[in-house]
Amino acid sequence: MTELYDYEMLLKRVRDALPENVKSHERFDIPKAEVIREGKNTIIRNFGTIAKIINRDPMHIYKYLMRELGTAGTIQKDRLVLKGHISPAMVQRRVDSYVRTYVLCYECGSPDTELRKEDRVEILVCKACGAMRPVQAKIDVRVSSENLREGKIYEVEVTDLSRDGDGIARYGPYTIYIHGARKGQRVKIKITKIKKNVAFGQIVS
């Protein structure tokens, strides 16, 4: 028999020794993202650390954030570099919703869970209470102060081209289509129409 225990095992032993009412009051603090701006990019400085704390595959979190924030990015050691300017509040909201969707047990709220994939379905398995639930992805469509507004002018960078040849720019969660814009161009546009996360802009200069 070995006397060596890893941290997780010790933690589990401590938890198991707690009376039931103490366990249920245990609260998990969702890690705070350290967000800074660097030129045209937004950096989550402690991305790797967050992944470790919530015990999830960094690539899984990465894909979720790219999809939810509607941007592109790269993982650089502990950092995640996101294209464009995204407010710290918006980044945190996505981190929060990731944790609520993929980490915290829907039954008991424990973060001591595991993500499994069975027949393409992601299942959240709780090690604390044994609950097994398919992941219910929640789509956050809440309106924020940094939302685009129709008729307002924004400066954006055209990062892609659509199939029809329109320029595409990203702004927070938005994909903006700009007629007549070229890839790589930085343009001032007036927003002419917004539909959920898709917007249309007209070049003004």
Q: Which residues bind Zn ion (CB under 5 A)?
A: 105, 107-108, 110, 126, 128-129, 131
Give the residue with the Cβ less far from Zn ion, 104 or 189.
104
Give the residue with the Cβ less far from Zn ion, 45 or 133.
133
Residue 76 corresponds to which tokens in the numbers above? 């650089």
The amino acid occupying position 121 is V
| Shortest spacing between CB 106 and Zn ion, in angstroms | 8
Angstrom distance (rounded) from CA 16 to CA 9: 10
DSSP three-state, residue 170 = strand
| Shortest spacing between CB 107 and Zn ion, in angstroms | 4
**In this structure, are residues 150 and 194 in contact, taking their beta carbons and an 8 Å threshold?**
yes
Give the residue with the Cβ less far from Zn ion, 115 or 131.
131
Burial class (CB in 10 A: 0-12, 13-18, 19+), 23: middle
The label of the residue with tokens 């991305």 reads 47
| Shortest spacing between CB 13 and Zn ion, in angstroms | 18
Q: How far is CA 204 from the centre of its chain?
A: 32
Give the residue with the Cβ less far from Zn ion, 86 or 128.
128
Residue 104 corresponds to which tokens in the numbers above? 């915290």
| Shortest spacing between CB 53 and Zn ion, in angstroms | 18
